[in-house]
Amino acid sequence: MGRLDGKVAAITGGASGIGEATVRLFVAEGARVGFADRDGARGSDLARQIQGDGGNVLFVETRMERQAEAEAFIGRTVERFGRLDILVNNAAIRLYHTVEDAGEESWDTIWGVNVKGYAFCARAAIPELRLSGKGSIVNIASNSAFIASYHSVQYDTTKAAVTGLTRAMARDHAEDGIRVNALCPGPTMTPFHRRRAAEAGKTLEEFREEFGRPTMLGRPGEPREIAACALFLASDEASFVTGACLIADGGESATGSNRALKPSG
């Protein structure tokens, strides 16, 4: 018996990184999964892989900042699987700016994906989650909601907004039997950060050592470790958890000195 047997989940940003790890884990735990991503080629390839291994998934190429597309993704997932029990809002982008050099267009772009996209999917999902009787929403935020980083004013702001969105939705929909929680990862070795290593001219091990140095564990996390936390929050094992922010950052946010030095490269 899997921990999500009989459940249907919708996962955004599911084609790579934490999203891909979450799709794979949820399928392994018995869920039928609809997942969305703006990368149509990568998402379609992942869906073929999982289906080839016997998993039941649906991929929908989606730009989450567009309300019609976000709602269509939820609609197609429900149409395919007949219900919805779990929503994992994971799709996000990161831009590196200070408030001085962040322009209107970049603010609109990151706010649209990182905040409005979460709200658009939740808006479409809540009527279906209400019908399930024990719905769960997991919003992937970041420990950047609590800790300032250099040149990340837009990303930090949007992730703080996600934690506020989470608490507000949890309050509004507790009586509907819907739990809403935020998961706040710290440094995690996703493909995005592997590309950053290459762009900085560093070996993967050099980047990994520097990236994970601020954590108590002395290393960055892996996407599968964050996916395991999402699984807990989504599952009935977290039946008394709502309105919470689960920090999974290897102790980085508890050190008090995590980003005191400017990053090199």
Q: Hey, which residues are catalytic here?
A: 155
168/61 Cα distance (integer angstroms): 28
Kindly tell me the burial class for residue 99, based on how many C-beta atoms sit within 10 Å of its own C-beta (0-12, 13-18, 19 or more).
Answer: exposed
Q: Does residue 35 contact residue 121 with C-beta atoms inside 8 Å?
A: no
Determine if residue 13 is left, alpha or beta; phi over 0 gives left, psi from -120 to 50 gives alpha, anything else beta: left
155/212 Cα distance (integer angstroms): 19
Residue 228 — φ and ψ, nearest 5°? Answer: -65, -35
46/137 Cα distance (integer angstroms): 23
Count of Cβ atoms closer than 10 Å to residue 241 Cβ: 15
Which two tokens mark 187?
């440094």
Which two tokens mark 202?
């560093």
Spatial CB neighbours of 156, under 8 Å, sequence gap ≥ 6: 144, 145, 147, 148, 149
Which two tokens mark 160?
């703080």
Q: For the chain, report the end-to-end CA distance as a whole number of angstroms.
A: 47
33/150 Cα distance (integer angstroms): 36
